[in-house]
Amino acid sequence: MRQTSSGILENNGALVFAPNLETDSPPGVTYTRAIMLKNSGEANGTMLCTFDYSTTFNGQLTWPLYKSTDGGVTWTLLFSFDENILDLPLAMNPMIFEVPQQIADLEPGTLLFTGVLKPEDASITRIVVYKSTDSGTTWSYLSTVDEGGPAVYDPLPTSTTTAIWEPVLAVTRNGDLTIHYSDERQKDNDILQALVQKTSTDGGLTWGPINNVVAVSNRNDRPGMISITVLPDGTHFAVYEVVNVPGLDVNSSTVHFKTSPDGVMWDYQTIGTPVVLEDGYGLGSSPYVKWVDNGESNGLIVITSKWALDPSGNLIPTQNFFTNSNLGEGYWQKMPMAVTFKFDVYETSVTSYVAFSQALETDIENTTLYQAVGVENGDFIDARCGGMPINTITYEAENAVLTSVAVIEQREASGEKKVGDISSSDSQVLFNNINVTEAGIYIMNIRYNNGSGENSIHQVSINGGSVQYVEYMPSADWERFLWKTLEIELVDGVNTIGFSYYEGLAMIDCIQIYKI
């Protein structure tokens, strides 16, 4: 039985946290991270979400930890890492991790939290790990992984910076704990920034020597913001941005990937493989990867990022995940995002940090793919969490039977086309091939644009029967997609679903159908 996703799909996902617009300082939320507990006994199904929060409280930046027990619909503050637990006042780059198996003295379900600490003068960067054995209610210090130089960002080839950033925890094939992070301290070897890892054989109490994951000696390519997932054959799959690629003049922070058979051995001297569609479009900036069990033998690798890239490396908006069902081999495909966000290039405004490092997660039953992301709210950024079905049938509006409407091309549409001009009494979009094998109540997710600034309404008729009304809240503009969810009743076999004009204007991209 699949739960209804309306609370985490409509209205651009559920609100986790919104800054106080009167007292806080922009930008607000960045670097969102979310997990669902799956190895924690009675707490299984609980979701936890954390993020960078750029407002300083009494000279301190905290890591807030929010909790949801209803599948990501509502959230409450569970814990705040503050001066009672942090030994330095400024905190950034958080990551939360649930231990999936016995690792030394760590029981399955133990929670680990890592991130970067720095003093008020930002003179050092320190990666630390904390531990919780009660599902995140209380935390204690576990270890310090490494310490780098000042928290100064300079991606130029002439840079002399020595900071460490962006830690990510994982478990190796042989069951050891490992941590990956960005390291700027190898410039003497002409490595502008490396991605490195350390391994712990005692459950995170102590850490071994640095092992390079990506370290290219050309004083230009700057890999960073690594994310790790484990494929069903045990292969570790890493994605990361490469700043300064394809060049300093077109710095698109192209997303690359590489693999390791065990999570320890990496072909570190190569830059990796770009993530691209068959038409040459790619992804850029602050990627996150998640392997999803969709019931197929290889499963599905899903990557999200801040923007997309055209074949020339120019930055363009994205409203789609990239997916691969062949363990990373070959070209990638597009999949609509649950939550969409404003496209804003760095250094143009405070909202340029929208969607700066997201997170992906699945529920216990592998029916829902969650997306935690920072979304613009005026000059501020909120933390939002959306979820959409993993296994569903998608029907493109442009392939329906169309009357008195227009097919409009849009690259970020599901099939790169959508249907608009649903504006006259005889306008209709008729999906006439909805085939199900069991009668009953289904969920229909509708992907739409409504840039009118006001709510719009369509009439919906199932199998020519009585009319329902679906109301679409405004989207940011006519390019931005949102989702609307409706419960419908279908018969066994072929069904028809017709959309027609009632009030206002809205465009339909596609619909998804699945059983509840």
Higher pLDDT, 423 or 90: 423
Q: What is the DSSP letter of 37?
A: -
Residue with tokens 């130029």: 156
Q: Which two tokens stand for residue 323?
A: 């997916």
Q: What is the 3-state secondary structure (H, E, C) of 75-103?
A: CEEEEEECCCCCCCCEEEEEEEEECCCCE
Higher pLDDT, 515 or 304: 304
Residue 3 — very low, low, confident or very high, per pLDDT cuts 50/70/90?
Answer: very low
Find out whether 368 and 362 touch, Cβ atoms under 8 Å: yes
Q: What is the DSSP letter of 188?
A: G
User: pLDDT of 52-81, one tens digit each?
Assistant: 986 555 555 679 999 999 999 999 999 999
pLDDT at 23: 77
User: pLDDT of 152-204, one tens digit each?
Assistant: 999 999 999 999 999 999 999 999 999 999 999 999 999 999 999 999 999 99
User: pLDDT of 221-278, one tens digit each?
Assistant: 999 999 999 999 999 999 999 998 766 666 789 999 999 999 999 999 999 999 999 9
pLDDT tops 90 at residue 397: yes
- Of all residues in the chain, the percent with pLDDT exceeding 70 is 96
pLDDT at 4: 45
Q: State how far the Cα of 348 lies from the Cα of 378, in Å rounded to an integer.
A: 14
Domains in the chain (CATH in brackets) are 6-389 (2.120.10.10), 393-515 (2.60.120.260)
Average pLDDT of the segment spanning 344-362: 86
Note if the pTM is more than 0.85.
Answer: yes
Secondary structure of residue 10 in the 3-state scheme: helix
Average pLDDT of the segment spanning 76-97: 91
Q: State how far the Cα of 188 lies from the Cα of 120, in Å rounded to an integer.
A: 28
Q: What is the 3-state secondary structure (H, E, C) of 377-437?
A: ECCEEEEEEEEEECCCEEEEHHHCEEECCEEEECCCCCCCEEEECCCCCCCEEEEEEEEEC
- Measured at the CA of 497, the angle between CA 496 and CA 501, to 5 degrees, comes to 140
| Gap between the terminal Cα atoms of the chain | 6
Report which of 62, 94, 67 is spatially closest to residue 78, judged by C-alpha positions: 67
Average pLDDT of the segment spanning 10-15: 96
